[in-house]
Structure 1
Amino acid sequence: MKDFLLRVFTWWNRQTIGTQFWTWRKGELVGEDEFGNRYYRTRGGAKDPALGFERRWVIYADYAEASMIPPGWHGWMHHTTDVPPSRDTYTPREWQKPHRPNLTGTAEAYRPSGSTLASGQRPPATGDYSPWTP
């Protein structure tokens, strides 16, 4: 019962009932990534008349976090590449880095020097600032 209510009233836990129905009715599974996220497109690659291209969507394995999409799948989702990473003909580009989760709000988040949350002392002002006066 709890799972059903979560699917009706929340969008951040995997998929809603509407998304599940749309996927069942119009979707075609393209592949799955190493995190368990499943990627879909419109059945047969049919173009959406309103968009002019095929719809592509992801159903997250757990919490819906956009940074959990690896680079290869991100390119496919945004129509940068036509070949999904699940096919044998896919080769990642040399500039594509491995996935790193979004660390914002955690202790491992990037904190530049001078940040009030960074460890150490803030560097003194350099004197190059002059306030505006009308």
Structure 2
Amino acid sequence: MKLLLQIFTWWNGQTIGTRFHTWRHGQRVGEDEFGNVYYQGGKDSEGRTRRWVIYNGPAEASAIPPGWHGWMHHRTDIAPADDNYVPREWQKPHRPNLTGTPQAYRPRGSLARAGERPRVTGDYDAWTPRS
């Protein structure tokens, strides 16, 4: 069943192209606390070592922890698995992207937010075609 999901859905795990590239060129670098597996191999268009992740579940870029994010984007050449990486105190833990869910951020005045909208104060003039 998992193979069928990977064949017919690009957002679940890895695609056939990624599976082939990983098999052919991939060198496993490490795994994060969410079960995402990181690879490197081959060269990208800028001549750097190509790096990619195979997500454990749906492909969600915000699920990459800060240390691995830095490695993925070539900010550092040392992978967190090789460096005994410890997040800095200012780095926040992962929170999933809540867009489209009831927990999504809805600022004051949003039509999607419960309650009454604030009244217009007069510092706003509506646009009209002849103004």
User: TM-score when scaled to structure 2?
Assistant: 0.86
Identity among equivalent positions (%) equals 64
For the pair 1:15 / 2:14, whether they are aligned, the reply is yes
Distance 2:96 2:102 in 1: 13
Partner of 2:24: 25
| Structure 2 gap segments, 5+ residues each | none
Compared with structure 1, are the counterparts of its residues 75 and 123 closer, same or farther at alpha carbon in structure 2 (3 Å cutoff)?
same
Partner of 1:4: 3
Distance 2:30 2:57 in 1: 16
User: TM-score when scaled to structure 1?
Assistant: 0.84
For the pair 1:41 / 2:40, whether they are aligned, the reply is yes
More moved, 3-12 vs 79-88: 3-12
Contact 2:44–2:50 at 8 Å: present in 1 too?
no
Distance 1:121 1:96 in 2: 36
| Structure 1 gap segments, 5+ residues each | none
What are the Cα deviations for residues 63-104 of structure 1, in whole angstroms up to 9, with x where unaligned?
Answer: 111111111111111112222111235343343211111111
For the pair 1:109 / 2:104, whether they are aligned, the reply is yes
Distance 1:125 1:84 in 2: 52
Distance 2:6 2:44 in 1: 29
1:79 to 60, 63, 74: 74
Distance 1:69 1:49 in 2: 20
Partner of 1:59: 54
Compared with structure 1, are the counterparts of its residues 49 and 10 closer, same or farther at alpha carbon in structure 2 (3 Å cutoff)?
closer
Distance 2:63 2:44 in 1: 29
Q: How many angstroms does 1:49 deviate by?
A: 6.3
RMSD: 1.9
The aligned length equals 129
